Amino acid sequence: MLTPKEISLLFEVQINTLYNWRKSKPKLFAYLQNADYNSKINNEINALLDYFSNTIEKDFTLKEIDFLITSDFELNSIEEVNEFQDYFIKANYKMLPTKHKFVLEIYNKIKELNIVEKYLLYKKVFKIRKFGDKNRAEFFKEFLKKEKNNG
């Protein structure tokens, strides 16, 4: 548990304000006191997600991943992540008359994902949108169709 001085240094909040929050905003104060614990829990969850991501084997193409990245939709809650395919289709319904097969293939692939896989896929899409180009083939490797060796 963090002391008021540690909270002040970590979050750049004046100690007097923290003492005021202890009475006026006890839930916020308690959350800040446990920020180190919350951070450890988040790190553990991220480690589990990274481990789980190594077990994923899906069959998206790089073209489909690029289309997801450029599609105009945003997921802001776990409920929205669970309905990923619905947000995707709403963002791309105008393309159905001309690219219906392509769009519906992506929709079906998203729909087949479990909620953790949807979360991991969207997290990667979001990172590419926010931070720019990475080696997408490597970054999305667990979601991409595996190349068959013919030799």
Does residue 17 lie in a domain region?
yes
Token pair, residue 129, equals 């949108």
> If you average pLDDT over every residue of the chain, what do you get?
88
Looking at the predicted structure, is the pLDDT value of residue 116 above 50? Answer: yes
Candidate from 10-14, 23-27, 127-131 with smallest mean pLDDT: 10-14
Task: List the domain range (segments joined by +) for residue 117.
Answer: 62-143
- 86-98 per-position pLDDT tens digit: 999 999 999 999 9
Contacts of 28 (CB under 8 A, 6+ apart): 21
Does residue 138 lie in a domain region?
yes
Does residue 148 lie in a domain region?
no
Amino acid at 45: I
Does residue 111 lie in a domain region?
yes
What is the value of pTM for the model shown?
0.70
Does residue 151 lie in a domain region?
no
Does residue 90 lie in a domain region?
yes
Question: 150: pLDDT confidence band, cut at 50, 70 and 90?
Answer: very low
